[in-house]
Amino acid sequence: MLVNKLSVEDARILLRNEGGELRAAQVAIQSVTIAAVAATCARAIWVGKATAWHLALPMAAQYLTLLASLPVIYAMLRLDGMRKEARDSVRAIAVLTAVTAIVVAVRAHLQDNAWLDQLAQDAQQVWLWITTHQMHWPMLCAAAGLLFDLPGRVRNLVKFGPPFLAVGLDCGVRIVVLFLGCFLLPLVVGSSTRFTWFLWAAIVFSELLTLGMHWDIQRRLRKLDAPQR
């Protein structure tokens, strides 16, 4: 057993599915990204009166940035370990584009508007919903952090093999926190503002915790694999 009830083999599988070992530079990038997104989200809550639903936007920005980046990276590097992720990204972009087009077409028909006019109106409403609540800054920080982290992920892919990016600890925990927060915590926490701050704190804590777990697991495995003197 490596730690608690996690076996050494399970730890190796978990680390591999997380994209391999993190270098010090990657830990620094992810730490700065967490701090920047947390600070700008706090500002959005304080100044822009952002709600709990807005806190999902940085993760959405990272997801869309990843979808757009993977086909480009694969086209440039032609790494076999990225082929599946790049193909899935193209499919996801096509599905999102089709769903958006259908929704806009339906709304244009219901409101008797031209499709392009309806698209412009909807895009403006979404942009205002984001910027009025000051959420464009957290989204920008989250997307930039992902882009800075991608070269390290590419190195890990070459060294450790696929998967390039999986739904790992960080992403999985954030999804769970957002789901439980947006659907269950309002029953426990009173005001919407207090609830938003509570969810913000839970997301920041979960991100720091998963980053620390990743580093701790790889540190223990390194110590275990080190030659005995």
The CA distance from 40 to 178, in Å, is: 18
Helix (H, G, I), strand (E, B) or coil at 114: coil
What is the predicted pLDDT for the residue at 191?
56
Q: Quick check: is 3 in a domain?
A: no
Which residues, other chains included, contact 46 with Cβ-Cβ below 8 Å and sequence gap of 6+? none
Q: How many domains does the chain have?
A: 1
Q: Which residues of the chain have pLDDT under 70?
A: 1-20, 160-191, 226-229
Quote the distance between the C-alpha of residue 66 and its chain's center: 9
What is the predicted pLDDT for the residue at 169?
43
Structure tokens given for 174: 């954030």
What is the predicted pLDDT for the residue at 20?
67
Helix (H, G, I), strand (E, B) or coil at 6: strand
Q: Quick check: is 142 in a domain?
A: yes
**Whether residue 71 has a cis bond before it, omega within 30° of 0:** no
What is the predicted pLDDT for the residue at 39?
97
Q: Is the separation of the CB atoms in 170 and 211 below 8 Å?
A: yes
Which residues, other chains included, contact 187 with Cβ-Cβ below 8 Å and sequence gap of 6+? none
Which residues, other chains included, contact 14 with Cβ-Cβ below 8 Å and sequence gap of 6+? 6, 169, 217
As beta bridge partners, residue 3 has 6
Q: Quick check: is 77 in a domain?
A: yes
Q: Is the separation of the CB atoms in 136 and 58 below 8 Å?
A: no
Q: Quick check: is 156 in a domain?
A: yes
Q: Quick check: is 2 in a domain?
A: no
Helix (H, G, I), strand (E, B) or coil at 132: coil
What is the predicted pLDDT for the residue at 44?
96
Q: Quick check: is 127 in a domain?
A: yes
The per-residue pLDDT for range 44-66, each reduced to its tens digit, is 999 999 988 898 899 889 889 98
Q: Quick check: is 1 in a domain?
A: no
Could you tell me the residue range of the domain that residue 58 belongs to?
A: 8-225
Residue tagged 């600070």 (tokens): 39
